[in-house]
Amino acid sequence: MSILEILFWFLTALALFGALMVVFSKNPVHSVLWLISVFFSISGHYILLNAQFLAIVNMIVYAGAIMVLFLFVIMLMNMNTESEPQKSKWLRIAASLSGGSLMLVLVAALKDTSGKVTGVFKVEGNIGLIKNLGQVLFTDYVLPFEISSVLFLSAMVGAVLLGKKETNSIIS
């Protein structure tokens, strides 16, 4: 077992365990912290796949910006284990069964891919490096890049509009 395989299995176990803890932990703050560990392990997977730019972007955008936003909102609402609403037992069992059967169907449909393609792990090829990605981004994909800036502007305006305290209420 090479060092890369050990790293792969460690990151896989960390991602799956963290995702399970996000779903099953009672305290929302613990959920956010486990979700950060999931994002870091997925960043590790990106590094193993030699996609270094995406690994850094994943860390900065998800584990940095988005998770801080989630933590802010949760602390703003002062949520804890006592105020956490729970669904009924049968509903939870049914939801777990349906999620598990979705996984079963997908695994059964995709298990025949085994052995046909190998070698994702070779550390060669430089498409994930920032030089190559930047060249393609600012030549072929420059229009979607600019459109995404308009998307961000509209998202910012929407967030400010929604978060503003309304003087004459529209809702009720």
Partner 1 sequence: MPINYYILLSVALFSIGIVGVLTRRNAIIIFMCIEIMLNAVNLLLVAFSKMHHLRALVADRATTVGTDAQLFVFFIMVVAAAEVTVGLAIIVMLYRNIHSVDINFLNRLKH
104-123 residues near partner 1, rule: CB under 8 A: 106-107, 110-111, 113-115, 117-122
CA distance 146 to 131: 19
The Cα-based distances of 37 to 13, 66, 105, 111, 114 in angstroms read 11, 13, 28, 28, 29
Q: Does 8 bind partner 1 (CB under 8 A)?
A: yes
Give the nearer residue to partner 1 in terms of CB position, either 118 or 168.
118
Q: Does 137 bind partner 1 (CB under 8 A)?
A: yes
- Return the SS3 of 87: coil
Query: Do 32 and 71 meet the contact criterion of CB atoms below 8 Å apart?
Result: yes
From 6, 75, 127, 142, residue interacting with partner 1 (rule: CB under 8 A): 127
Nearest to 128 by CA among 29, 35, 54, 36: 54
Size of the site for partner 1 (CB under 8 A): 85
Give the nearer residue to partner 1 in terms of CB position, either 168 or 171.
171
Q: Does 128 bind partner 1 (CB under 8 A)?
A: yes
Structure tokens at 45: 């997977």
Site string for partner 1, 49-88 (x = CB under 8 A): xxx-xx--xx--xx--xx--xx--xx-xx-x----xxxx-
The residue type of 25 is: S
Give the nearer residue to partner 1 in terms of CB position, either 57 or 167.
57
Q: Does 28 bind partner 1 (CB under 8 A)?
A: yes
